[in-house]
Amino acid sequence: MQELWQALVQAVQLIARLDSEVVEISLRSLYVSAASIVIAALFCVPIGGLIHFHEFKGKKVLINVIQTFYSIPTVVVGLFVFLFISRAGPLGGLELLFTPGAIIIGQVILILPILTGMTISALNGVDKSIKDTALSMGATGTQAIWTIISEARFAVVGALILGFGRAISEVGAALMLGGNIRGYTRVLTTAISLETQRGDLVLSLALGIILIGIAMVVSVIMNVLLQRY
Amino acid sequence: MKTLLIRSIRHISLLVLLVSLLLSAALPGCTPAATPAVTDSKPAAPQPIPVVAGIPRFKIATTTSLYDTGLWNYLEPMFEKKANVRLDIVYAGTGVALEYGRRGDVDALVVHDPEAEAKFIAEGYGINKRSFAFNHFLIAGPASDPAGIKGLTPDQAFKKIYEGGVADPSKVKFISRGDNSGTHSKEKLIWQSAGYKYEDVRKSGSWYVETGKGMGPCLLMANEQQAYVLADISTFLAFKAKVTIVPLVDQGALFLNVYDVMAINPEKIKTAKMLPTANAFINWLMSDEVQDVIATYGVAEYGRPLFSPLKGGGCTEPGCPKLEDYTTPVK
Amino acid sequence: MTILRTVNLEQRAGSISLLRNINLEVKRGEVFVIIGPTGAGKTTLLRLLDLLDTPCAGDIYFDGRKITGPAVNVMEARRSLAMVFQKPVVFNSTVYDNIAYPLKVRGVNNSVIRSRVEELLDTCGLSGFAKRRARTLSGGEAQRVALARAVISSPAILFMDEPTANLDTASVKAIEDLLADFNRRNNLTVILTTHDLQQGQRLAQRAGVLMQGELVQAGTPQEIFRSPGDIRIARFVGMKNILRGIVARQGSGMAAIEVKGRVIEAVSELPAGTAVDIYIRPEEIVLSLQGLQGSARNKLAATVMSVSLDGPLCTVVLDGGYTGAPEGTPLRLEALVTAISAGELALRPGQQIYATIKATAVKVLPAPHSAD
């Protein structure tokens, strides 16, 4: 129990003196996760919209599959991507393994199901009369879709925050795809895993506290932005 | 209204941009050298050199136990400056490290499993193998030594542990790496020497615990369970302050642990392009500069070095590498 | 002159028929009210007219051009139409953004939008509401926003689906005044549905009755309320006195109809022997203590059964007795008089009274072959 207190103290110290390596890996965690969210959102929100707004055979099955993949284990995703981008794999020529880009790829794949599925849920939550009103007011089909997405924006941003949380807290794929290389692919979660392995539990907890702090700040910022618009 | 989501995305993108700008500004080590970086081991290590675009990346895979000692935090900046490359070090159990080598995901390997290495080279994946350091394994266990192994030879000790564990798993337990690492291979070798089939050992009872974890976590677990564990001395010393188990057997030819380096063969792996750098790396590890670092690494912290250099003929027992293996430069 | 016309419009949901044989015509600048009971298909019809749904069969012509069918640019037509729904629907943003929406999606210049929105905020009594979040408004306020939003793009036709059904009386009046205002000032055609007969009578220049998916009657409100096309419509538009009888004598446009043993004279060409339904509006029965002098052809003696006051009016149920064949129910009539008259006559149950009904006030329709 005293480890927890020590960890809190150490976390504050690390932040206060802006320890260069902690700052570096924190920024990298942020950058990688933010990039993952942006890329995934660019895919998932339109695709979620497409799925929601069209009726087709097997739609329910597709949504079920998407929801099943919410709980895909991160090591499985890591392994899957590893096999693709390893030099021995089909995309080996891109030399992506053990780079921050590889981590981003892994995280994007990880959060694709969540973002898509929750976008669909968010859109479901919008009353059908919104669509009728938009069309009746002269919106084109595309404009109506954007209006509906805008109506669902709170729920969609909630999905983005959730996706960001899953990305920034994820270890398995980041370790396997990034290699935890000091100064290049080390992020908060892989650093925590290393320090745990080396027995420095207090430092692990301290880094964990910093990670939660970052996640909280991001969530607050996103909510504030949402309120203002 | 419909542009609201676009605006949110724009803001997030701005955030990402801002963050990446900060990141690229933060990367050159901006604290004074006096303050040690947090993820280094306890002796203050030099800061990593700044990133400059265009410098090639040289990747090596090493074992977890070697990585955990923190020796690389010293060696890495030294080599980067010398060879003007970015040295990327990934760590894993020996088995996985070799797999990285087979796949061409790294350019060189630093491991310590002679049998696996021999196979690797025979398959054509590895070339230019040299040795550069050594230390010993030891068996650590509870101070009370319930199996009575103190002072025995490695295989004798293992026999006692086996018998004691089968008889009473609550008193005698053994924690195994169980992950095809160098340590694990050594463990299997000793079981073989003691006259046991490894598969029989695995199935013989609850006294034998396979963890699949790294060396440090295994030591911690052995500490928790007051069990016996085979460890390399460097990791043990690094964890000594955190555990109550003590070294009980540390003599014997079977315990010799030699650290080797080899390059990935570009003839076998077409994507391997860093052979000249790999060769320079291998030669550098054998150089006086590195051998001197190895000779003193850990003294300040633990009172004795974690490794022994091979230079100067420090390794004299049977199984030590031949002179040419640790001195002949690679062309 | 005709701005909207439908030809044999039909709609189905699976195998269930929702609308059949809908043929209506609405003139430019008219307020056309579609009245009908709940479930008649009013919303379904309006959704077809606003091009939100496609009909199974039939066509719609807007300003002479066909707007149904595969080759049609629905977008273009829809941009001349607008609809206000029963439940006030507002987007989750400010009142300003809501009202500006139709102009935004048409790519109109921002300064133009600003002045139009301010103009409408003023007209609809929403000055100062611009920055309010639309979802925080009351039902009446939200519906006014919806109305402003619907008219800002100057549509040719405004559809309104039971727009005041969920609102309080003050809001109902506000909405009705606004749409009358827009109709007058901008010659805006309004097609409105309601199940509230009074509202229909107040607002309509022309009306149509929709029952069970069919447009059973169309015409001025006068025609519909006074001369309903059949017994269903009569019941719906609040005819109280519907009696079955048979034409006893026919003489140059005047029929003597035998109803429950009494003879009632009515204007009708139907020949003797025809089974008929007669309809008398309650307010057309004049009560007096003595039989009135004058040209009214029907003077019936009756007994007052009940007297119920309802504000300024009074409903009186009369029993006209029975003088027909042994089995049968007595002649029951419901009259509507002013409370003042009731007072003057000192109406009370059991009282003997005279009911006078003009022959022109008795509507006659042939009875359908099957029982109603």
The answer to whether B241 contacts chain C (CB < 8 Å) is: no
Residue B324: the pLDDT is 83
Each residue's pLDDT tens digit, B17-32: 454 444 433 333 333 3
Judging contacts by C-beta atoms under 8 Å, the chain A residues touching residue C166 are: none
At C338, give phi and psi (nearest 5°).
-75, 155
Whether the per-residue pLDDT at B33 is higher than 60: the answer is: no
Instruction: Answer yes or no: are the C-beta atoms of B293 and B287 closer than 8 Å.
Output: no
| B6 in C contact zone (CB under 8 Å) | no
pLDDT in tens, B35-76: 334 444 444 455 454 455 678 899 999 998 889 888 999 999
Give the side-chain half-sphere CA count within 13 A for B292.
Answer: 4
pLDDT-derived band of residue B163, with 50, 70 and 90 as boundaries?
A: very high
Look at B4 and A229 and tell me if their CB atoms are within 8 Å. Answer: yes
C-alpha–C-alpha distance, residues B130 and B181, integer Å: 19
Query: Which pLDDT value is given to residue B86?
Result: 94
What is the least distance, in Å, from the CA of B164 to any CA of chain A? Answer: 29
Give the residue from chain C lying closest to A148, CA to CA: C91
Q: Quote the tokens at residue C349.
A: 């149950």
Between strands B126-141 and B208-210, the pairing is: unpaired
- pTM of the full predicted structure? 0.74
Domain ranges within chain B, ordered by starting residue: 57-135+256-327, 136-255
B174-176 and B228-232: which strand pairing?
parallel
How many Cβ atoms are within 10 Å of A225's Cβ, its own excluded? 15
Tokens of residue B276, six digits: 């000249």
**Rounded distance, CA C126 to CA C120, Å?**
8
CATH 3.40.190.10 fits B136-255, yes or no: yes
Instruction: Quote the crossing angle between the two packed helices B114-122 and B182-193, to the nearest 10°.
Output: 110
Q: What is the pLDDT of residue A103?
A: 96
Instruction: Look over chain B and give the mean of its residue pLDDT values, rounded to a whole number.
Output: 83
pLDDT in tens, chain C (372 residues): 899 999 999 999 988 999 999 999 999 999 999 999 888 999 999 999 999 999 999 999 998 889 988 877 888 889 999 999 999 999 999 999 999 999 999 999 999 999 999 999 999 999 999 999 999 999 999 999 999 999 999 999 999 999 999 899 899 999 999 999 999 999 999 999 998 888 888 899 999 999 999 999 999 988 888 788 888 888 888 778 888 889 999 888 888 998 888 888 998 888 888 888 888 888 889 998 887 778 788 888 889 999 999 889 999 999 887 666 566 678 889 999 999 988 888 888 988 999 999 988 888 888 876 544
Taking CA atoms, what residue in B is nearest to A198?
A: B216
What is the distance in angstroms between the CA of the first residue and the CA of the last residue of chain B? Answer: 68
Asked if residue B249 has pLDDT above 70, the reply is: yes
Main-chain dihedrals φ then ψ at residue B83, nearest 5 degrees: -100, 0
- Three-class DSSP category at B88: strand
Closest CA to C246 of C331, C360, C366: C366
Angle, alpha carbons C122-C125-C129 (nearest 5°): 80
Give yes or no for C97 touching B (CB within 8 A): yes
CA distances for B319 relative to A167, B64, B213, B262, B295, angstroms = 48, 23, 28, 19, 20
Assess contact for B81 and B280: CB atoms under 8 A.
no
Strands B86-92 and B57-63: parallel
Q: How confident is the model at residue B7 (pLDDT cuts 50, 70, 90)?
A: low
Give the number of A-C residue pairs with CB atoms closer than 8 Å.
Answer: 54
Provide the percentage of residues in chain A whose pLDDT is more than 90.
63
Do residue C91 and residue A151 have CB atoms under 8 angstroms apart? yes
Q: What is the mean pLDDT of residues B120-129?
A: 95
Distance from CA of B11 to the nearest CA of C (A): 19
Report CA torsion sign: B13, B16, B21, B22.
positive
| Separation between Cα atoms, residue C186 and residue C223, nearest integer Å | 27
Which chain C positions have a beta carbon within 8 Å of B3's beta carbon?
none
CA-based angle B248:B253:B259, to the nearest 5? 95
Give the domain range for residue A78. 2-228
Chains B and C form CB pairs within 8 A to the count of 6
Domains of chain C: 2-234 (3.40.50.300), 239-366 (2.40.50.100)
Output the domain CATH number for residue A9.
1.10.3720.10
Least reliable range by pLDDT among B207-211, B302-306, C61-65, C284-288: B302-306
Q: Which CATH class is domain B57-135+256-327?
A: alpha beta
Inter-residue contact B102 to B92 (CB < 8 Å): no
- Average pLDDT taken over every residue of chain A: 91
Q: Give me the DSSP letters along B204-247.
A: S-TTEEE----HHHHHHHHHHHT-EEEEEHHHHHHHGGG---EE
**Hey, what amino acid is at C142?**
A
- The rounded distance, in Å, linking the Cα atoms of A89 and C229 is 81
Q: What's the 3-state SS for C229-252? A: CCHHHHHHCCCCEEEEEEEEEEEC
Q: Which of C171, C147, C47 is nearest to C89 (CA)?
A: C147
